[in-house]
Amino acid sequence: MKKGIAMLLMIVMVLSALVGCSDGGGANSSSETSSGTPSQNDTSQAEDSQGVSEDTPFVITTLASFFEQEPPSTTNNPVFDFVQEKLNVEIQVTWTPNGEAMTKFNTMMAGDNALMVMGGADVTSSNYIRMCQTGAFWDITDIIKDYPFITDTLMSDVQRDTSLTEGRRYCIPSYVPDARIAMVYREDWVENLGIELPEVMSAQDYYDLAKAFTEQDPDQNGVADTTGFNYVDDQDKEVNYGFNTLAVACGAPNRYGVRDGKVVAYFQTEEYMDCLRMMHDMYENGYLNSEFMTLGSGAKYNPMLDGRAGFMFTTATNAVTPGGKFDTLLANEPDAKIGYKMLSLDPNGNKVVNSNITGVSGGNVFPVSAVKSEEDLRKILQFFVDLNQGDCAKALDIGIEGIHYTTNADGTIEITDEQRELRDADGSGSIFANMFARRLMADDWGQPLSDYDKIQQHYAENAQYAVPDISVGMLSSENIQKENELASLIYDARAQFIMGFIDEAAFNAAVDTWLSSGGQAILDEIQANYVTE
Ligand SMILES: [Ca+2]
């Protein structure tokens, strides 16, 4: 573990050193305007050419989404100003709330209002696939080979493949960590019960914890008023967090996998049935919350927030306190402690993490109607590279020296509370959070790491254990639509089995119906595309 972090930091530092070189300056090179002089260092390809430095700024129009109430300010934003000046670009942003990004994307594309860099692409949607097929976007499959930094550093291993459409690259996916789902749990309850949790949790360990949290009065109020597992099944969205994490811990694939050379759906495997039986057992014994079918996305944390439940599977950064998802619990129960564990141990002794269900969540595409030439396309790609290296990377990660941080004599970075707040308030911290392709986490500039940063490090460390959904990027739009149509067959059967309404024979009958109603064609298509990869 320690060794892993050390190794990671080393890699980050080596990268930083390389970046320092290509930037042609020292660690603290000046923040004045781009010199315009190409780097002296000629060790690699097009990436070092600083291709966007000419006298007139290169204009990049973009659709970007924001997560807060208001988009980050683009005026008097020190980081936004710094990047534009340094790289000699003018960025014209059209903002959209994150929840509306895909709609906005589709509306703008349909209305012929495309911008040069469009965010919000949903690579699994049939609409998007059709746009690719009809030539709406630049096919960057070959061009991107000149920018290995983008494919190596700005994409996860899983996303590199899953963001392709019919084998071609149109999209640079947003960097969603391959591994980010964890068991988030009541650490204080574990302490109350004197339980020693293993670092890597087997399915049986999850079961035992759910049982102990239900039966042993972990909140020590003398009343049997707790449930172990805060399970949520709002069908196709959050199901991958809870059920799929346990399924993967039981040794099942993540939605689709390969058995004896054949692509199968996970509900065709014995390991899936092991998981299903365990879930039913937990339901029968009250180790999981009985209202799991009705916990919509707004209510999914409620059993834990109310202090009734002990753990759930969710994004690990939700465990950060304060600022994560459990602040209201902490407000009511100041002694509550939230912990997380990311790794599961499957029956074969492999460390595994359930990866996110779609593999790709949004990304940048380049409409041919807005990017007029390959030269312009290359300028944009080079900008993506430059934005994530050297002084720009540092500005994105920690802001501007003297405004957002101070460098100590020993090279470490000091950030006061006021500076941290200013970086939030002036938009510097969030301006590039969701606009263009970016690195997963901040480089090591000697800055203090927040709890959030530390979890991001675990994401990177654990990516190697991610169990991806192999179907992403492998299906035609027709079959994606078909898959959505058929989904309720399995979701319903699963829920009914967990609640004891149907037996295994009935569950298997639902699987057979799925296969004969189009499911087999889905498996065949994944098989054909997967094997030729
Ligand atoms: Ca109790």
Domain 2-177+360-448 matches domain 181-354 at the CATH topology level: yes
Class of domain 181-354: alpha beta
What average pLDDT does range 163-175 have in this prediction?
89
Q: Is the pLDDT at 116 greater than 60, yes or no?
A: yes
Q: What is the pLDDT of residue 235?
A: 62
Q: Say how many Å lie between the CA of residue 309 and the centre of ligand 1.
A: 10
pLDDT range class, residue 81, cuts 50, 70, 90? very high
Amino acid at 79: V
User: Partners of 45 in the beta sheet?
Assistant: none
DSSP state of 416: -
Give the confidence band of 294 by pLDDT, cuts at 50, 70, 90: confident
The pLDDT of residue 412 is above 60:
yes
Is residue 414 pLDDT above 80, yes or no? yes
Cα 171 to ligand 1 centre (Å): 50
Task: Between 476 and 347, name the one with better pLDDT.
Answer: 347
Q: What percent of the chain has pLDDT over 70?
A: 87
Do the Cβ atoms of 406 and 400 come closer than 8 Å?
no
In 148-190, beta strands by DSSP E: 172-173, 181-186
Interval between CA 335 and ligand 1 midpoint (Å): 15
Average pLDDT over residues 458-468: 91
Give the per-residue pLDDT at 54.
55
Cα of 280 from ligand 1 centre, angstroms: 23
Ligand 1 centre distance from Cα of residue 220 (Å): 5
Lowest mean pLDDT: which of 3-17, 121-135, 208-222? 3-17
pLDDT bucket at 415, cuts 50 / 70 / 90: very high
Distance CA 23, CA 39 (A): 6
**Confidence at 439, pLDDT banded by 50, 70, 90:** very high
3-state secondary structure 253-284: CECEEEECCEEEEHHHCHHHHHHHHHHHHHHH
Q: How confident is the model at residue 297 (pLDDT cuts 50, 70, 90)?
A: low
Q: Measure 510 CA to ligand 1 centroid, in angstroms.
A: 39
The amino acid occupying position 185 is Y
| 485 burial type by CB count under 10 A (0-12 exposed, 13-18 middle, 19+ buried) | exposed
Per-residue pLDDT at 1: 35
Q: How confident is the model at residue 473 (pLDDT cuts 50, 70, 90)?
A: confident
Return the pLDDT at 239: 63
pLDDT of residue 35: 36
Q: What is the pLDDT of residue 92?
A: 98
pLDDT band with cut points at 50, 70 and 90 for residue 31? very low
With 70 as the cut, is the pLDDT of residue 511 above it?
yes
Averaged pLDDT, 4-9: 42
Looking at the chain, the whole-number percentage of residues with pLDDT higher than 90 is 70
pLDDT at 6 over 50: no
In this prediction the pTM is: 0.77
Q: Between 346 and 433, name the one with better pLDDT.
A: 346
Beta bridge partners of 401: 405
Mean pLDDT of the chain, nearest integer: 87
17 C-alpha to center of ligand 1: Å?
Answer: 54
Distance 104 CA to ligand 1 centre (A): 48
Q: Which residues contact 428 (CB under 8 A, 6 or more apart)?
A: 77, 78, 79, 80, 395, 399, 400, 403, 404, 422
The mean per-residue pLDDT over the stretch 70-98 comes to 96
pLDDT at 69: 87
How many angstroms is it from 249 CA to the middle of ligand 1?
28
Cα 499 to middle of ligand 1, angstroms: 24
At 135-163, the pLDDT tens digits run: 999 999 999 999 999 999 999 877 887 78
pLDDT higher than 90, residue 108: yes
At residue 432, does pLDDT exceed 90?
yes
What pLDDT, on the 0 to 100 scale, is given for residue 392? 98
Q: 234-253 pLDDT, tens per residue?
A: 665 556 789 999 999 999 99
The pLDDT value recorded for residue 167 is 82
Ligand 1 centre to CA of 498 (Å) is 25
How far does the centroid of ligand 1 lie from the alpha carbon of residue 215, in Å? 9
Asked if 164 and 364 touch (Cβ cutoff 8 Å), the reply is: no
Distance 262 CA to ligand 1 centre (A): 48
Comparison of pLDDT for 202 and 48, the residue scoring more: 202
**Bridge partners of 414?**
406
Rounded to whole angstroms, the Cα distance separating 218 from 78 reads: 49
Cα–Cα distance, 141 to 476 (Å, whole number): 19
pLDDT at 282: 98
Residue 313 CA to ligand 1 center (angstroms) comes to 22
- Ligand 1 center–CA 216 separation, angstroms: 8
Is residue 356 predicted with pLDDT exceeding 90? no
95-128 b/e with 16+ CB inside 10 Å = b? bbeeeebbebbbebbeeeebbbbbbbbbbbbbeb
Q: What is the pLDDT of residue 10?
A: 40
Mean pLDDT of 426-448: 93
Please compute the mean of the pLDDT values over residues 469-483 and round it to a whole number.
85
Q: How far is the CA of 451 from the centre of ligand 1 (A)?
A: 30
Which positions ≥6 away from 43 have C-beta within 8 Å? 21, 22
Find the mean pLDDT for residues 391-415. 96
CA of 342 to the centre of ligand 1 (A): 27
Whether 4 has a pLDDT exceeding 80, the answer reads no
C-alpha of residue 213 to centroid of ligand 1, in Å: 9
Q: Using the mean position of ligand 1's atoms as its centre, give its distance from the Cα of residue 89 in Å.
A: 60
Amino acid in position 324: G
- What is the pLDDT at residue 238? 56
Partners of 182 in beta bridges? 314
Q: What's the confidence (pLDDT) of residue 166?
A: 81
pLDDT, one tens digit per residue, over 176-194 is: 888 899 999 999 999 999 9
**How far is the centre of ligand 1, averaged over its atoms, from the C-alpha of 38 (Å)?**
67
Provide the residue ranges of all domains of the chain, joining segments of one domain with +.
2-177+360-448, 181-354
Integer angstrom CA distances of residue 191 from 106, 186, 223? 50, 9, 18
pLDDT band at 357 (very low <50, low <70, confident <90, very high): low
The CATH class, in words, for 2-177+360-448 is alpha beta
Structure confidence at residue 440 (pLDDT): 87
